[in-house]
Structure 1
């Protein structure tokens, strides 16, 4: 059995989903400010090189490797996933406040940034695994693709507004104090989540045996759909983080792009994410969700080859960076909406946090490995060559999905 994509009134007509979605919007915009402010702080203020950038990128991602399985099992036993997310928002706001305080005191160093990034990443793990279950509590199953389009559209909107805002704030306020924007966004997200009370359930004591820490990985391994989707995304993200650990270092030091211009380029290029979020539902209705998911595995990483290709007159360099961001932003929306909908639909509601924790352990756990590998490659063979390896290698993830049931699927699967 499958669940067809439904047309009809959008999820935004529901008050609970509106608040849930709005929390994503404000939090994600702040996240994008931090995503550009902390690396710029490391490069421009603390003098970080390729290896240090690898350490910093890995620090925020390492909790996914060590804690995701545990967090998923713990969250699925709780009937208050929303409260877990609120506490995580408040904790991340408090931790980010430490950065400008240390900077003002004149004692901030790279290891402070790494430690704070690790702590923030830990809270993000709990937030994200709880969010998988809360999504299923807020959204009806036939609306999964429409709701995923909206939540990923919010992310695309944050890509447009956040980097530009972050670049401006870094230039006007300096990088440490630009992080105040993300502090406010976490507080806003917590407030919006506190205003909803969707029905939530915990796994009962009789079902608790299914919540052993390794059972999420076992469930994924038994599902040809979940297994191959995860392997493809994991391979892609390993190389993608080789690339992104060095990206800001490369464009600022080698290509000579200023923080303000970098933020503007990322923001303008990310309009492609809005286009991708609007386009994906139509593509799925026309071609089926499986072929569109396969398209996403190529459309996201392939345009990034334009970054190491960038050269020549300054307008050409800027144009190639803009094209890379725009086209990749379209691709990541196609990928995340299609794959996210498939993964949610193929998982029983009572196991969503557990399975999402297992997925994060593998998918996100490989990201710090990629970041560290990027730092090592940047030191050994040069940043430019390492960017080529990251951009080309990421496309290889599609081969895991090509030889699976996914390309033949037109509708959402039943769990």
Structure 2
């Protein structure tokens, strides 16, 4: 076995816990993920509690964070395939830190507006496009192919744990010191991530560059064609897009629903959203084991079943004991999402030729993530017309039907996903 640079890779005892560079990547992303999930609750709380924003404005705030995937996703993937990825990730962390630091600074000067929050969400979303694309391509540089599933499982388990810790921490900080202070924590987390990335020692080989000014467009089309023509990536892309419409749709108005309809205090809102994510922690821990025991294709189908129908429990949430429906439904949905993301992420990273990985990643994410701002705006419009509860009912009903998409492709006939394209 050799690394990408052609250097023989000795067997590693103790797993990835003894891999110094992976530990640094893991630690940085863990801290950053907690900070980002603090902000996922804190920013809408700032809009609602500090600026008295409407339901539609809060939904547009969510849309702004995901809109860059539609605007620059494809050229970003082609560009990332041309450069070293670690410097890109460090710059994205520093830009995000500066953007989120501007929120408490503006609040201190009494200059904070909903427009300012929208600019911050849009700018941080733009940085996220480049960071996540580079990150997907960088992991196979650090790890051998057989280590990639374990690396993805560890990173996703940490990401899922942040869904539990981040919202609860956001609610606690918002209760004690105000929602604006919670945003400051996210800014600091990006600085920690940049520091960890800066300490990685592995030398990343420089990708080949083209002097042809028209090659960028051709490279973008190469990535799109690969996804469109591949029966596995194609169906997974459509399923991911449909799932994200339902997931983002109900999540975009969930904070407004819990604060204004269920009349829950900010601290409890964060705790409930965190508890609803606990299933994801279990799912990330079990994903590789399920894929080995059931087969990776069957594990994906099981994950889809857990992601879809249990979402119908979420609209049953209400004041008092009825909030437990949110926790139960959310826990099952997050369990399915975690298993699916680990299996799909590892499959894409090992199945796709590495020279195309950045372009294939953003080609899939263009549809996967590009539907998110549209879903958030649609949920906001529905929430304004029918109330947050009506919007959540419609979005979860759509999410419950999404597993049927996976039955269209070749997945239903296989135990395991293929290792290489046909």
Q: TM-score range by the shorter chain?
A: over 0.9
| Structure number with higher relative contact order (C-alpha < 8 Å, ≥ 6 residues apart) | 1
Match for residue 81 of structure 1 among 62, 66, 85: 85
Q: CA deviation at 1:221?
A: 0.4
Count of aligned pairs: 407
Q: 2:30–2:162: 8 Å Cα contact kept in structure 1? A: yes
Query: What TM-score do the two structures reach when normalised by structure 1?
Result: 0.93
Q: CA deviation at 1:101?
A: 0.9
- 2:276 corresponds in structure 1 to 269
- 1:184 corresponds in structure 2 to 188
- Distance in 2 (CA, whole Å) between partners of 1:139 and 1:186 is 23
> Match of 1:382, SS?
helix
- Distance in 1 (CA, whole Å) between partners of 2:58 and 2:368 is 20
- 1:40 corresponds in structure 2 to 45
- 2:221 corresponds in structure 1 to 214
2:298 counterpart of 1:291: yes
Q: 2:100–2:183: 8 Å Cα contact kept in structure 1? A: yes
2:341 counterpart of 1:336: yes
Q: 1:37–1:179: 8 Å Cα contact kept in structure 2? A: yes
- Distance in 2 (CA, whole Å) between partners of 1:163 and 1:200 is 35
- 1:59 corresponds in structure 2 to 64
> Match of 1:213, SS?
helix
Match for residue 91 of structure 1 among 71, 92, 95: 95
2:227 counterpart of 1:223: no
Deviates more, 1:252-261 or 1:404-413: 404-413
- 1:25 corresponds in structure 2 to 30
Q: CA deviation at 1:87?
A: 0.5
- Distance in 1 (CA, whole Å) between partners of 2:238 and 2:324 is 33
1:188-239, Cα deviation, whole Å (9 max, x unpaired): 1001111113343344246985852222111100111111100001011122
- Distance in 2 (CA, whole Å) between partners of 1:395 and 1:344 is 28
- 2:129 corresponds in structure 1 to 125
Alignment RMSD: 2.0
- 2:420 corresponds in structure 1 to 414
- Distance in 2 (CA, whole Å) between partners of 1:197 and 1:118 is 32
Q: How does 1:241-280 map to 2 (within 5 A)?
A: 241-280=248-287
2:177 counterpart of 1:173: yes
Q: 1:19–1:192: 8 Å Cα contact kept in structure 2? A: yes
Q: CA deviation at 1:91?
A: 0.7
- 1:3 corresponds in structure 2 to none
Moved over 3 A (4+): 6-9, 205-211
Specify every segment of 5 or more residues in structure 2 that has no aligned partner in the other structure, as ranges: 1-10
Specify every segment of 5 or more residues in structure 1 that has no aligned partner in the other structure, as ranges: 1-5
Q: 2:224–2:363: 8 Å Cα contact kept in structure 1? A: yes
- 1:309 corresponds in structure 2 to 316
Match for residue 390 of structure 1 among 384, 387, 395: 395
Q: 1:202–1:350: 8 Å Cα contact kept in structure 2? A: no
- 2:377 corresponds in structure 1 to 372
Q: CA deviation at 1:307?
A: 2.2
Q: 2:247–2:399: 8 Å Cα contact kept in structure 1? A: yes
